[in-house]
Amino acid sequence: MSNIRVTYSGLISFTISIASVFTGLIFTIIVTRRLTPDEFGTWALIGTLIGYFLISEKIISFWTTRQIARNEDVGKTSIASSLFFSLLSIPVYLLVSYAVSETSNADLDTLLFGVFLIPVHFLSQTLAGINRGFKPQLTGYGLLVFETMKIPGALSFVFFLELGVEGAIISVTLAYVVSIIVQGYLARQKLKAKFKKSVLKRWFKLSWLPGYSHIATPLLKSDIVIYSIISGSVIGVAYFSISMTIALLILHAQMITQALYPKLLAKGGPEYIKENYTLLMYFSIPLFGLAIIFSKPGLFALNPVYEFVYPVVIILAFKTFFLVLRESFGQILRGIETVDIVQNPKFSHLLKSKLFFVPSVRLVQAIIFVAVITTTFLILNNLGATEIEIVTWWAIIVLGLEIPFFIYMLIQVQRNVEFSFPFIKTAKYFGATLAFVLVFFVTSNYLISYEISIYDFLPGVIYQVIICVAVYLGLTYIIDEKTRTIFKGVINEIRSKSSSSNN
C-alpha cells in the first residue's frame, strides 16, 4: 500500500498553490499593466500554441505518474524522453507560428521568440509527473518556486527594460529553469535508475492511449487561435484571457486532489474518494465566490482598461467551477482503473477501460465545442458584432458546454464507485460563502477605492480578501464538524513537526 497521505498532501499542495497565487499575481500585474491589449493577446496566443505541442510530453508524464506510483523506477527514462520530444517540437512550432502570423495581427518575431518556452515547459511538466507519483505535494513546491522567480524577471525585463512580450518570455523561461533545478533535486531519488529502452519501447507502443487522452486539450484551447484567424485581431483574445486569469483562481482547488490519483493507483480505497471530494468542495466553493465578487476589482488591479469585461469573468467563474469538479471525476475513474498493471495489456481491453472512456468524453465535448464556437465566431463577425459582444457569447458557450458533461461524469462516478455527493456539507459551504459575499457588498465601498495607482488600490483589496476568508473559515468552523477536524489535524501536524525539529 502506498504511504501517500491524501488529506495531508492535498492540504500542503493547496496551501502552496494559494501562496503561489499572490506571487503569480505580482508577475501578472506587471505584465498586464505594461503590455497593450494587442501585446497581451499575442502573449496569450503564444501560450495556446505551446500547449499544442505538450501532447507528446503528456505521453511521457501519463505513464510516468502511474508507474512511479506503483514503485517502478522510470524517472531517468522520462527526463531523457521529454528532452528528445521537446527538441522535435521546436521546428514544428516555428512553422505553425509563421502560419498563424499570416492570418492575424500577431507579431511574427514575437511568436518565434516563444520557442524558448518549449524545452523548459516539457522538462518542468515531466518532473512534476515524477513527483506526483510518489510525493504529490512536491509539485506544489515547484509551482511556488516558478511563480516566485517570475517576479524578478518581470521587474527586470518587462518593467525596467520595457521589452514587452519578449521580456515576459525571458522571465518565464528563467523561472522555469530555476523550477526545473528545484524539482529535479526533489525528485533525485527517482532519477537514480538507468535509462530503460524497454520502458520507452512500451511507452511508444502504448503512446496512442495518452495521446488520445490529451488530444481534446488543444481542441478545447483552439478557440483562441480560431478567434485570431477569423477576426484578424488579438484584442478579443486579450479580453477573454484576462477574464480567465481571474476565473482560473478556482482551478487552484484541484491541488486538493493531487494525492488522490496516485493513492487510488496504489490501491487506495473508496473512503479516500469521499473524504477528498468533500475537502475539494470546501475549498472550491469559496474560491468560486471570491472569483465572482472580485471580478471587477481584480480586473482593475490587472489593468483598468479591462475593468468593463467583469461580466465575462463571472460567466467563466461558473465554467471553471464545474470544470474543477468534472476533472476530479475523471481522476477518480482513471485512478481505479487497473488494466495497465499487466506488462502488455490487450488493445481490446484498453478500449474498454476507463483510460479510454474518460478522454472519449472530453473529445466529444471538444469536437462539439470547436464546431459551435467556430460557427458563432463566423456569424457574429459577419454581423459586425463588437469584440466584447463576441467575447461574452464566447464565455456563455464554454459554460453551456461544461454543465452537461459535469452531470454525465458525476453519474459515471456514482455507477463505478461507492460515492455519494456531499449535498449537506456542500450546502453549508455555499451558505458560508454567501455570508462573506454579503459582507463584501456591505464593506467593499469603505475599503476599496478605485484609484489608478496600484499602490493606493491594492491594499484595500487585500484587506477585503482577508475579511472574506476569515468570515468563511469562522462560520464553517462553527457549523461543520469536518472543518473542526481539519483545523485540529493541521494544528497537531504543526505541533508534531515542531516537536520533532526540537528533538
pLDDT tens for the 503 residues of the chain, in order? 455 555 555 566 667 767 777 777 888 889 988 998 889 989 988 988 888 887 778 888 888 888 887 788 888 889 998 898 899 999 999 999 998 888 877 889 999 999 999 999 999 999 988 888 877 777 778 888 998 999 999 999 999 999 999 999 999 999 999 999 999 998 888 888 888 888 888 888 877 877 787 788 888 888 988 998 898 888 898 999 999 999 988 988 887 776 666 667 666 556 677 778 888 899 899 999 999 999 999 999 999 999 999 999 999 999 999 999 999 898 888 888 878 777 777 888 888 888 889 989 999 999 999 999 999 999 999 999 999 999 999 999 999 999 999 999 999 988 888 777 788 889 999 999 999 999 999 999 888 888 777 778 888 998 999 999 999 999 999 998 878 877 776 666 556 655 554 55
Burial 91-104, CB ≥16 within 10 A → b, else e: eebeebbeebbeeb
Q: How far is CA 330 from the centre of its chain?
A: 15
CA angle 305, 309, 315 (to 5 degrees): 155
User: What is the pLDDT at residue 102?
Assistant: 85
User: What is the pLDDT at residue 56?
Assistant: 78
Cα distance between residue 189 and residue 354, in whole Å: 31
Residue carrying the nine cell digits 528545484: 182
Q: Which stretch of DSSP H or E encloses residue 96?
A: helix 75-103
Q: Is 480 helix (H, G, I), strand (E, B) or coil?
A: coil
Instruction: Answer for the pair 421, 273: CB distance below 8 angstroms, yes or no.
Output: no
- Please, what is the end-to-end C-alpha distance for the chain in angstroms? 29
Instruction: Answer for the pair 328, 311: CB distance below 8 angstroms, yes or no.
Output: no
Residue carrying the nine cell digits 524578478: 152
Q: Which three cell numbers stand for residue 238?
A: 486579450
Helix axes 37-52, 164-186, angle to 10 degrees: 40
Instruction: Answer for the pair 125, 57: CB distance below 8 angstroms, yes or no.
Output: yes
- Distances, alpha carbon 168 to alpha carbons 45, 143, 175, 176, in Å: 13, 17, 11, 12
Cα distance between residue 290 and residue 275, in whole Å: 24
User: What is the pLDDT at residue 470?
Assistant: 95
Of 141, 363, 376, 344, the closest CA to residue 258 belongs to: 141
Q: What is the pTM of this model?
A: 0.81
User: What is the pLDDT at residue 334?
Assistant: 85
Q: Helices (H) and strands (E) in the chain — how many of each?
A: 23, 0
Instruction: Answer for the pair 127, 79: CB distance below 8 angstroms, yes or no.
Output: yes
Q: Which three cell numbers stand for residue 230?
A: 477569423
Residue carrying the nine cell digits 469585461: 309
Q: Which amino acid is at 214?
A: H
User: What is the pLDDT at residue 348?
Assistant: 84
Q: Is 206 helix (H, G, I), strand (E, B) or coil?
A: coil
